Amino acid sequence: MSFADESEDEEWVIEWEEEDSADPQIGDGGDGGGIVLGDAKWGERALSVAREVLNLHFSEDLVLFAFKVSPRGYVYVRLDKLTNKYGCPNIEEIKKFNSLYKTRLDEIIESGEIPLDLAIEVSSPGAERLLKVPEDLDRFRDMPLRAKYLEQAIEPKRHQEKDGVFLIDSFDIESGSCVWKLADVRENRGEAGKGRGLSRRQKDWRLELPFGAIKMLTLYLS
């Protein structure tokens, strides 16, 4: 879900698509969340205004998931709704933030603090958001998650990358490890007949991994 400044043009849309084509990484300012200001000297000021708008006009459950600017004057904001199952604000919240944020930026641009007009896109993190380990484990522990991980072997060079759809069974911050069980989704049921769930053996199966073995974690949407 996204809402863009009505002054956007075709060139702006093309640049956004090009930036989204890269593989996501934690902290990339996009699907991986985080803050990316690059070489834009005005980026810190634009970020402070975004935080100001959130603090003054919204409840504490609406926070910045990602913030990214480009030297050419594009600002990409992703808002995370902590009380929503998937982290998605509603369209009215996105529109309200977009309007208030643009108004404040226009005031700052007019005063000369920022030397160029800005194009803005405000959106939610989306289903492709990357989850942080261990920070997001408790928040999404009741939801099926797709994990890419290194299967542990005696020799590190023999670790193999695998993926699966799991539920969090437990995790321990002190030991830095987590235990996973199979999620009851079609992908894990294999050849089971329609309407049948996991087998007893599948229900009892567990996978213990150190946090560092999880290379990518995302929401699973069937």
The answer to whether 146 and 165 are in contact (CB under 8 A) is yes
Q: Is residue 47 part of a domain?
A: yes
Distance CA 86, CA 91 (A): 14
Same domain, 72 and 158: no
pTM, 2 dp: 0.84
Please give the radius of gyration of the chain, using alpha carbons only, rounded to the nearest integer. Answer: 21
- The total domain count for the chain is 2
Same domain, 119 and 184: no
Instruction: Tell me which residue of 193, 222, 30 sits closest to 123, measured CA to CA.
Output: 30
The verdict on whether omega for the bond into residue 89 sits within 30 degrees of 0, i.e. cis, is no
Domain, as residue range, for 195:
145-219
Same domain, 110 and 163: no
Same domain, 86 and 11: yes
Same domain, 117 and 164: no
Instruction: Tell me which residue of 61, 59, 62 sits closest to 77, measured CA to CA.
Output: 62
Q: Is residue 131 part of a domain?
A: no
Q: How is residue 121 written in tokens?
A: 């896109």
Same domain, 20 and 112: yes
Same domain, 179 and 112: no
- Could you read off the pLDDT tens digit of each residue along the chain, which spans 222 residues? 566 664 444 444 444 434 556 788 999 999 999 999 999 999 999 999 999 999 999 999 999 999 999 989 999 999 999 999 999 999 999 999 999 999 999 999 999 888 788 999 999 998 889 999 999 999 999 999 999 999 876 566 667 899 999 999 999 999 999 999 999 999 998 755 566 889 999 999 999 999 999 999 999 987
Same domain, 96 and 167: no
Q: Is residue 94 part of a domain?
A: yes
